[in-house]
Amino acid sequence: MTYDLKSVFPTLRRAPISEATIDIQVTLLPDVNLEKLRAFHRGLEQRFPLVEDRMRVAALLQMNKAASPAITSQGPTPDGLLMRSESEALVVQARLDGFSLNKLAPYAKWDALRAQAQELWQRYLDVAGPVAVKRLAVRYINRIELEPGVDFKESILTVPEIAPGIPQGLPEYFMRLVIPHESGSTAIVTQASLPPTFDMLFDIDVFRFTDIRASDFEEIWPTLEELRAYKNVIFFNSITPKQMEKYA
C-alpha cells in the first residue's frame, strides 16, 4: 500500500519511536530576555523539577584566498531554559528563539503529545509574548531493529545502496536526504548505523518556514498536523510489511 497526505495511517502499538519533538520557532520583541523567560518555570517546579540553562554555541567559517580558512566561535551563551520531567519522559525548552517539547520513549500517541504541547505553548505565549512564528517542525527519531546478515530492504526501503562489484558488507553508514514536498514542507531524513548493534537510526525531521502573526496563532496546529502527515508518508512508505508486523 502507498500512503499520501490524505491517508489514514495505522496506529502502531509498538512504534519504534525513541523521541518525538514539536518545535515552534518565533520572533520575540527586543525587550524579552532570559530573565523574563524564567517565569515560564514558575508553577512547574514539581512537574519539571530538573531545570538548567540551555547553552548556544555559534561558529563562523571565514574563507580567504590568501590564507587558510579561519574558524571563529561565539559562546557558549545561555539562550533559554531546558526543563525535564523524568516521570513523564518529557523535555520542554523555552528559548529566546522559540519553544519545543520532546517526548522520550515510551511514546504513546500524537494526540497526547499535541495536547501537552498546546498546554505548554500557551504558557510560553503568556510569558514571552511572541509576535510571529517563523518555522514549525515535527521530528521523530526511530530505532529500526535489523537482523545481522539480512538485506536492509527486507526491513526498510529507503537505504544506502552499494554498487554491484563492490563488497556489500556495511558495518557503519550515514545517509542524509533532503526531500521537499509541493505543500511547502521539507523533510530531512537521516539514516545511520548504531554500533555495536545492527539497528538503524531512522530520523525524520519535517519543517516548514512560516510567517504566522500573533493574531493567527491558531494556524500553528493545522500546520503541525500537515507536517506530521508528511512524516507518516515517509515512514510508512519506507517500512516493509515484514518489518511493520513487529510494530502492529
For residues 126 and 128, give the distance between their C-alpha atoms in angstroms, rounded to a whole number. 6
Q: Mean pLDDT across the stretch 50-73?
A: 71
Q: Mean pLDDT across the stretch 69-93?
A: 85
Report CA 65 to chain centroid distance, whole Å: 38
Give yes or no for residue 188 having a pLDDT over 70.
Answer: yes
DSSP 77-93: EEEEEEEEETTTTEEEE
Whether 220 contacts 136, CB under 8 Å:
yes
Question: What are 58's strand-pairing partners?
Answer: 74
| pTM for this model (two decimals) | 0.91
Which secondary structure element, helix H or strand E, spans residue 73, and what is its range? Answer: strand 67-85
For the segment 130-151, what is each residue's pLDDT rounded down to a tens digit? 999 999 999 999 999 998 878 8
Band the pLDDT of 171: cuts 50, 70, 90.
Answer: confident
pLDDT at 64: 66
pLDDT at 168: 78
Please state whether beta strands 174-180 and 186-193 pair in parallel, antiparallel, or not at all (unpaired): antiparallel
